[in-house]
Amino acid sequence: MKIENLEFDALLDKFKKILKDNALKFTVQRECVLKTLYNNDHHFTPEELYMEIKETYPELNIGIATVYRTLNLLEESGMVTSISFGIQGKKFELANKPHHDHIICKHCGKIVEFEDECVEQRQIDIAKHYGFTLTGHLMQLYGTCNDCKKGEK
């Protein structure tokens, strides 16, 4: 998929600045990590992201360590967010999406993004009740998806 998008260009410029600020080189491998996250709505483990990059860019020489280091840098800079799955590790997505929350299947790991204005307002009300000004939140709901429920019967 060819990217011709001003939003990606702005994201790439921000990434280049972060690399420069950390005395790191801009490489095509690092760019492909960002580009792959940008072009997919999927929540990737580092291993899944690595495999997607290898499949999409077979000519690219990239190592799994580069993917891990790039994801860590992107997360530390706030460009990427992650969901922790305990010993199974983290799944990553770009942080440039509009705010949303997640519901996650504890059996297969399926992640559904959702937005709910009532939930958002309730969180603001709760924060206010306890004397807080809400500046952000991360909500993850866990359960069993319909496919896994069918498999249990």
- Binding site residues, as ranges? 99, 101, 105, 108, 120, 137, 145, 148
Residues that constitute the known binding site for Zn(2+): 105, 108, 145, 148
E strands, the chain, in order: 80-84, 90-94, 101-105, 111-114, 140-143
Distance between first and last Cα of the chain: 41
Joined tokens for residue 23:
């005395």
Three-state DSSP state, 90: strand
SS3 label, residue 135: coil
The DSSP symbol for 98 reads P
Question: How many residues in total does the chain contain?
Answer: 153
Residues in binding site for Fe cation? 99, 101, 120, 137
The pair phi, psi for residue 147, each rounded to 5°, is: -60, -45
